[in-house]
Amino acid sequence: MLWSVSSRSQEPASPVRRLLLDEAARVLAEEGPAALSARRLVKAVGASTMAVYTHFGSMPALVREVMREGVERFLGRVDAVAPGTDPVLELTELCRVYQEFARAEPDVYAVMFGGSTLAGFELTQGDRQMGVALLRHPRDAIRRCIASGRFRADADADLLVRQLFVQMHGLAQLAHAGYILGIYGPDDVLAGLLRDFAVAAGDDPERAARSVRSGLG
């Protein structure tokens, strides 16, 4: 085809791997999981189907790479939340960035947490470990809530962070599926969940409401 053109290029050989990953992420974000296929990706980058297998081994393995990079973006957002003097506010902000990521990249999010099989991809135990790592930051925030006296001293941070995880995941998925209908939207439900979470953990209702409002505004 274009041998002469490629030889003209002084750059290092085409990083086909990166091109495929970027195109996969783009298609997934812009057109959804149904549009993601090996043949389409290789056509977009001007390669043959073999490119997928030399660089990734299989389509599920390519999807796994896309997911791993999604996890890194997710971790980047979560770690950007700085601790402050109000741990309930910090917890609220963590949940806010969680929902923001799920809304920004709903299909990558769905792959990360098992909501989508996507071309036969299935989560490995290692994948799940990576997802669980996201809970460390919120768990520490809950511990600070306990240490600061906002939450009861006998509260169990490990159980509470799982409860919070369940709530964030359920909200993200139901909102994406269009199941949060009627007068209350996802943001209303999020505010209610966070306030009730803090109150049940022992926080003063008024103070909890103020921290949540501040963290979501």
Partner DNA sequence: CCGCAATCCATAACGGCGTTATATCCATAA
Partner DNA sequence: TTATGGATATAACGCCGTTATGGATTGCGG
Query: By CB under 7 A, which span of 57-65, 84-92, 137-145, 202-210 interacts with DNA?
Result: 57-65
Query: What's the CA gap between 96 and 170, in Å, rounded?
Result: 14
Distance of alpha carbon 199 from the chain centroid: 26
83 binds, among a copy of itself, DNA, none (CB under 5 to 8 A by kind): none
- Give the nearer residue to DNA in terms of CB position, either 46 or 185: 46
Contact 144, 90 (CB under 8 A): yes
Query: What's the CA gap between 100 and 141, in Å, rounded?
Result: 19
- Give the nearer residue to DNA in terms of CB position, either 3 or 182: 3
Contact 64, 108 (CB under 8 A): no
Task: Tell me the HSE value of 74 on the side-chain side, using a 13 A CA sphere.
Answer: 27
CB of 200 vs DNA, minimal distance in Å: 45
Contact 171, 109 (CB under 8 A): no
Query: By CB under 7 A, which span of 12-20, 82-90, 104-112, 129-137 interacts with DNA?
Result: 12-20
- Give the nearer residue to a copy of itself in terms of CB position, either 51 or 134: 134
What residue ranges bind a copy of itself (CB under 8 A)? 33-34, 110, 113-117, 120, 123, 125, 128, 131-132, 158-160, 162-163, 165-171, 173-174, 176-184, 188-189, 192-193, 195-197, 199-201
Query: By CB under 7 A, which span of 8-16, 80-88, 157-165, 172-180 interacts with DNA?
Result: 8-16
134 binds, among DNA, a copy of itself, none (CB under 5 to 8 A by kind): none
Q: Does 50 bind DNA (CB under 7 A)?
A: yes
3 binds, among a copy of itself, DNA, none (CB under 5 to 8 A by kind): DNA
Nearest to 52 by CA among 21, 22, 14, 13: 21
- Give the nearer residue to a copy of itself in terms of CB position, either 45 or 200: 200
Residue 47 neighbours by CB distance under 10 Å: 17
CB of 190 vs a copy of itself, minimal distance in Å: 9
Helical residues (DSSP H) of the chain, grouped into ranges: 3-8, 16-31, 38-45, 50-55, 59-79, 87-104, 106-112, 125-133, 136-147, 157-176, 186-201, 205-216
Residues forming the site for DNA (CB under 7 A): 1, 3-4, 6, 13-14, 16, 36-40, 42, 46-55, 58-60, 119-120
